[in-house]
């Protein structure tokens, strides 16, 4: 499969089979995340893999209830990955502060996409989730207050074939070649 075919194949999946995912397969996808680039090579990510019951079920129930229930589909995912931002070197933070950009979050976004593409290659479906009860997640996983919880990635084998058309702005709208 060409890289672009893989990019097309990866789509957010919101309906999963309950089939468990082998940890060797998860590790393969996490290896792709580990190899992601980051500002000053700070690698400011940590992935907490919740693939065992009852913890995963408790986490899903608490994270995706109430105002977060638009993501209730994630309760069916056999694996939830909580992505946190590690405190790292001062250089990228300082650089980011001057630029007015949080490089750490960019780094984590790249790593998560590496994960998702590797997962798609393994025929796994994923969905990045930015809308969840972060307070509840922190409590359940006993995470320190100062640790930023950035995303949850729901992972599982899709209950329908992945792929299909993507809703995107046309290329002409998102790029400008500068003429001299």
**Binding pattern to ligand FMN, positions 46-75, x when CB under 6 A?**
-------------------------x----
Pick the closest to residue 134 from 77, 80, 74, 59 (CA basis). 59
Considering only the stretches 9-17, 18-26, 32-40, 53-61, report the one whose residues sit in contact with ligand FMN under the rule CB under 6 A. Answer: 9-17
Region at 56 (left for phi over 0; alpha for psi -120 to 50; beta for the rest): alpha
8-16, 30-38, 81-89, 97-105 -> range binding ligand FMN (CB under 6 A): 8-16
Within 129-148, the residues that bind ligand FMN by CB under 6 A are: 129-131
Among 11, 28, 138, 148, interactor with ligand FMN by CB under 6 A: 11
CB of 12 vs ligand FMN, minimal distance in Å: 3
Q: Are 93 and 101 a contacting pair, CB within 8 Å?
A: no
CB atoms within 10 A of CB 142: 6
Cis check for the bond before 54: say yes or no (omega within 30 of 0).
yes
């Amino acid at each position: 499969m060409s890289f672009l075919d893989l990019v097309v194949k990866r789509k957010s999946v919101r309906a999963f089979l309950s089939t468990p995912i082998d940890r060797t397969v998860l590790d393969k996808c996490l290896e792709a995340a580990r190899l992601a680039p980051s500002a000053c090579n700070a690698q400011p990510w940590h992935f907490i893999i919740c693939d065992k019951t009852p913890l995963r079920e408790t986490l899903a129930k608490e994270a995706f209830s109430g105002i977060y229930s638009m993501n209730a589909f994630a309760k069916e995912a056999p694996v939830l990955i909580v992505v946190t931002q590690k405190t790292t070197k001062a250089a990228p933070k300082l650089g980011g502060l001057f630029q007015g950009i949080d490089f750490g979050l960019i780094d984590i976004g790249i790593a998560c996409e590496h994960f998702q593409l590797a997962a798609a290659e393994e025929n796994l479906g994923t969905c990045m989730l930015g809308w969840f009860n972060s307070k509840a997640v922190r409590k359940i996983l006993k995470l320190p207050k100062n640790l930023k919880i950035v995303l949850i990635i729901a992972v599982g084998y899709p209950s329908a074939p992945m792929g299909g058309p993507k809703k995107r702005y046309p290329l002409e709208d998102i790029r400008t070649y500068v003429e001299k």
